[in-house]
């Protein structure tokens, strides 16, 4: 009897273990499905409720407030999309060499200085909230650009510089991890063949770590693409095509930030913003797939 | 140019790049602290923000930030820890586990503004919570759930397998082993992760603009009726956090002393985040000492 009682109580405990933990894990799936469903439904109302033709949406004419008599309203989102793509790509281009250099410095050049100084610095950079980056950009970078380079200062350039500092920690930490995980045999073999440290880094370590480094770059690009407030504070938020570094532009995220609270729910203007939200969601899936693809590409070689 | 000379040149370039990064951080911190310390005093830290006049403080915003942090932690920590336990101790390699991992990866890479939009749709509008601290806490939960799960999985993985086997061989069930042996051993690692996540939660703003809102009612700290809109603890009232306040004064506010308020608020926010980071580091060092004795 005692044994059966014991068995029963341990069974009950096992059910507790499963019954508590599995639903919590399944909840993450439900949350993801809910986000996709809600944003798709709301994002597509631009087409289903307002019957806006695709040619209107995928144009650069953004006049959501213009009455029908004057040929409106026009909700062309292309300038928002261009803005997001250009600002995040340029920021990643600036940030990548610095991120890789920092990673090499920490793992190969001066590990002691790297781990005592540079690694905490990277962690602190990652910890500074994005609104603070935006504010410093607004109070230092924007006036500097206005006084020395021209324009109002609110510009693509300001957005690029702010973002490139913000995403540096992402590239640097992922690249550091992947360099650290490389076998010591690689280094010793290269040295044994008479390579200098730079040759060893350039010809052996960086190619061997390229999967990890590329993953870091894609993650940083994704972060830059999705960043909202820091960008909104410095780029000017005017729907221009990004043809010069010094003109104010707008991005998907900054447009949503600017207008979402000030437009009437269910209006055409408002639903155009929800469509931009849907594009952000789709883009983030694209980056997830890209990261997976890059990962596999490394394993296959 | 000899290979040796190129090597020297490259080394110099790496030192330069590292120096630039350190200089950027030093400038950022120096700038924030220098301008912030001129502003911060007791009155600034405790008084109400102003909407039109100069001289506003950030008292309610600091309170909102910490209260929102607390609200989101009491939701996300149990959920994240349980889901993490499932993945590290129970999950088998099957379709369900794969979809859970894919979902976590998806949630982790969503831009926070997208989560804010979802919060606006579901929590604020559909569930009728309105712009409220609860809606904000739920949005923050979605943002931090993947992080919490990963922290838990990682902390549990550092627990030696011997401990589990010893516990099981003494006749304990799996669940007993988990909550009496594995979890307590992993606790310092878990705490470190939670504190790090907290620093992130305090700095989050994009998701909160659409959920917790841009306003705070006049708070009355002697009001203990939790349903009253002036009660600070009412989770259904709107609440503007410190991070959101920094954004709002810069882009929407019409107070004449925007610079002063933004300087002070940024410095306070950065100091809080840094303190959380240091606390997490200190705890991590103690935790590894406890586990390895070194």
DSSP string, A27-86: HHHHHHHHHHHHHHHHHTHHHHTS---HHHHTSS-EETT--GGGT--EE--HHHHHHHHH
The pLDDT assigned to A301 comes to: 44
- In three-state secondary structure terms, B203 is helix
Q: Which of B4, B15, B19, B106 to mutate to test the interface with A (most CBs of A within 10 A)?
A: B106
The rounded distance, in Å, linking the Cα atoms of B272 and B197 is: 13
Is the distance from CB of A76 to CB of A87 less than 8 angstroms? no
Interface check for B111 against chain A (CB to CB < 8 A): the answer is yes
Question: What single DSSP character describes residue B217?
Answer: -
Asked if the model's pLDDT at residue B117 lies above 60, the reply is yes
Neighbour-count burial of A175, counting CB atoms closer than 10 A to its CB (0-12 exposed, 13-18 middle, 19+ buried): buried
Question: What percent of chain B has a predicted confidence (pLDDT) above 70?
Answer: 98
Chain B, residues 40-79, CB within 8 A of chain A, namely 78-79
The pLDDT assigned to A177 comes to: 92
The second-level CATH assignment, the architecture, of B36-292 is Orthogonal Bundle (1.10)
DSSP string, chain A: -HHHHHHHHHHHHHHHHHHHHHHHHHHHHHHHHHHHHHHHHHHTHHHHTS---HHHHTSS-EETT--GGGT--EE--HHHHHHHHHHHHHHHHHHHHHHHHHHHIIIII-HHHIIIIIHHHHHHHHHS-HHHHHHHIIIIIHHHHHHHT-S-S-SHHHHHHHHHHHHHHHHHHHHHHHHHTS-HHHHHHHHHTT--HHHIIIIIIHHHTHHHHHHHHHHHHHHHHH--HHHHHHSB-------STTS-B--HHHHHHHHGGGS-TTSHHHHHHHHHHHHHHHHHHHHHHHHHHHHHHHHH-
Nearest-by-CA chain A residue for B117 = A277
Contact between B120 and A226 using a beta-carbon 8 Å cutoff: no
Number of helices (H) and strands (E) in chain B: give both, helices first. 12, 0
Contact between A28 and B146 using a beta-carbon 8 Å cutoff: yes
Nearest to A101 among B6, B18, B174 (CB): B18
The rounded distance, in Å, linking the Cα atoms of B138 and B130 is: 12
Interface check for B118 against chain A (CB to CB < 8 A): the answer is yes
Contact between B3 and A25 using a beta-carbon 8 Å cutoff: no
Asked if the model's pLDDT at residue B226 lies above 90, the reply is no
The pLDDT assigned to A13 comes to: 65
Helix crossing, B112-119 with A268-300: angle to 10°? 140
B88 HSE (CA, 13 A, CB side): 25
Interface check for B221 against chain A (CB to CB < 8 A): the answer is no
Is the distance from CB of B202 to CB of B210 less than 8 angstroms? no
Chain A residues closer than 8 Å to B146 by CB: 28
Distance from CA of A227 to the nearest CA of B (A): 7
Contact between A101 and B14 using a beta-carbon 8 Å cutoff: yes
Is residue B220 left, alpha or beta, with left meaning phi > 0 and alpha meaning psi from -120 to 50?
beta
Question: What single DSSP character describes residue B5?
Answer: H
Contact between A131 and B243 using a beta-carbon 8 Å cutoff: yes
- Higher per-residue pLDDT: B229 or B79: B79
pLDDT tens digits, A80-126: 999 999 999 999 999 999 999 999 999 988 888 888 899 989 989 99
Start-to-end CA span in chain B (Å): 47
Lowest-confidence range among A65-69, B38-42, B91-95, B152-156?
A: A65-69
How far are the Cα atoms of A64, A66, A141, A242, B245 from residue A71, in angstroms, in the given order?
Answer: 11, 7, 39, 25, 39
- Split at pLDDT 50, 70, 90, the class of B82 is very high
- In three-state secondary structure terms, B143 is helix
Contact between A110 and B85 using a beta-carbon 8 Å cutoff: no
Greatest alpha-carbon span in chain A: 88
Question: What single DSSP character describes residue B204?
Answer: -
Nearest to B82 among A20, A226, A284 (CB): A20
* Cα B144 to chain centroid, rounded: 7
**How do the domains of chain B map onto residue ranges?**
36-292
Neighbour-count burial of B174, counting CB atoms closer than 10 A to its CB (0-12 exposed, 13-18 middle, 19+ buried): middle
Is the distance from CB of B270 to CB of B32 less than 8 angstroms? yes
The pLDDT assigned to A262 comes to: 85
Nearest-by-CA chain A residue for B98 = A29
3-state secondary structure B268-283: HHHHHHHHHHHHHHHH
The residues, any chain, with a CB within 8 Å of residue A150's CB and separated by 6 or more, are A246
Chain A residues closer than 8 Å to B205 by CB: 129-131, 229
Number of CB pairs, chain A paired with chain B, less than 8 A apart: 247
Question: What single DSSP character describes residue B170?
Answer: T
Interface check for B207 against chain A (CB to CB < 8 A): the answer is no
Interface check for B272 against chain A (CB to CB < 8 A): the answer is no
The pLDDT assigned to A37 comes to: 95
Q: Which of B266, B274, B285 to mutate to test the interface with A (most CBs of A within 10 A)?
A: B266
pTM of the model: 0.91
Chain B residues closer than 8 Å to A139 by CB: 259, 262
B234 HSE (CA, 13 A, CB side): 24
Regions of chain A where pLDDT drops below 50? 300-301
Beta bridge partners of A94: none
């Amino acid at each position: 009897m005692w044994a059966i009682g014991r068995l029963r109580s341990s069974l009950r405990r096992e059910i507790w273990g499963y019954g508590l933990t599995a639903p919590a894990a399944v909840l993450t799936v439900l949350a993801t499905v809910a986000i996709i469903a809600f944003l798709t439904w709301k994002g597509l109302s631009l087409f289903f409720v307002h019957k806006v033709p695709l040619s209107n949406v995928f144009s650069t004419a953004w006049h959501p407030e213009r009455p029908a008599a004057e040929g409106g309203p026009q909700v062309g989102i292309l300038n928002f999309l261009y803005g997001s793509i250009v600002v995040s790509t340029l920021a990643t281009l600036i940030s990548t060499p610095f991120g890789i250099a920092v990673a090499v410095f920490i793992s190969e050049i001066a590990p002691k200085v790297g781990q005592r100084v540079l690694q905490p610095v990277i962690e602190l950079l990652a910890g500074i909230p994005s609104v603070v980056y935006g504010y410093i950009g607004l109070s230092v970078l924007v006036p500097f650009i206005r006084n020395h380079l021209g324009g109002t200062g609110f510009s693509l350039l300001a957005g690029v510089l702010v973002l490139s500092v913000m995403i540096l920690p992402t590239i640097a930490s992922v690249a550091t991890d992947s360099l650290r995980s490389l076998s010591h045999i690689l280094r010793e073999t290269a040295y044994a063949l008479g390579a200098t440290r730079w040759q060893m880094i350039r010809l052996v370590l960086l190619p061997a770590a390229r999967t990890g480094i590329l993953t870091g770059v894609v993650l940083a690009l994704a972060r830059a693409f999705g960043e909202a407030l820091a960008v909104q504070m410095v780029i000017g938020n005017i729907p221009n095509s990004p043809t010069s570094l010094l003109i104010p532009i707008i991005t998907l995220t900054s447009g949503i930030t600017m207008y979402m609270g000030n437009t009437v729910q269910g209006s055409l203007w408002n639903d155009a913003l929800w469509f931009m939200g849907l594009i952000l969601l789709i883009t983030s899936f694209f980056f997830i797939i890209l990261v997976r693809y890059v990962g596999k590409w490394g394993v296959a070689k | 140019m000899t290979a040796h000379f190129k090597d020297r040149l490259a080394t110099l370039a790496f030192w330069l790049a590292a120096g630039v990064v350190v200089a950027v951080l030093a400038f950022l911190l120096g700038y924030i602290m220098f301008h912030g310390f001129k502003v911060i005093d007791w009155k600034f830290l405790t008084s109400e923000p102003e909407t039109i006049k100069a001289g506003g403080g950030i008292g309610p915003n600091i309170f909102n930030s910490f209260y929102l942090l607390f609200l989101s932690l009491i939701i996300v920590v149990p959920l994240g820890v349980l889901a993490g336990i499932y993945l590290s101790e129970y999950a088998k390699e099957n379709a369900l586990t794969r979809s859970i991992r894919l979902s976590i990866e998806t949630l982790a890479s969503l831009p926070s503004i997208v989560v804010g939009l979802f919060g606006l749709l579901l929590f604020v509008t559909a569930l009728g919570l309105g712009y409220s601290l609860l809606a904000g806490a739920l949005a923050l939960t979605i943002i931090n759930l993947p992080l919490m799960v990963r922290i838990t999985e990682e902390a549990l993985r550092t627990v030696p397998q011997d401990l589990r086997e010893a516990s099981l061989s003494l006749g304990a069930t799996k669940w007993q082993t988990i909550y009496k042996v594995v979890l307590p051993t992993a606790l310092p690692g878990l705490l470190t992760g939670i504190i790090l996540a907290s620093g992130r939660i305090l700095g989050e703003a994009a998701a909160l603009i659409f959920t917790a809102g841009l306003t705070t009612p006049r708070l009355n700290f002697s009001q203990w009726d939790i349903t009253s809109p002036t009660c600070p603890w009412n989770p259904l009232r709107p609440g503007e956090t410190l991070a959101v306040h920094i954004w709002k004064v810069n882009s929407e506010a019409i107070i004449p002393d925007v610079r002063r308020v933004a300087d002070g608020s940024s410095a306070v926010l950065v100091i809080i985040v840094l303190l959380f980071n240091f606390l997490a580091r200190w705890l991590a060092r103690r935790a590894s000492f406890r586990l390895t004795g070194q």
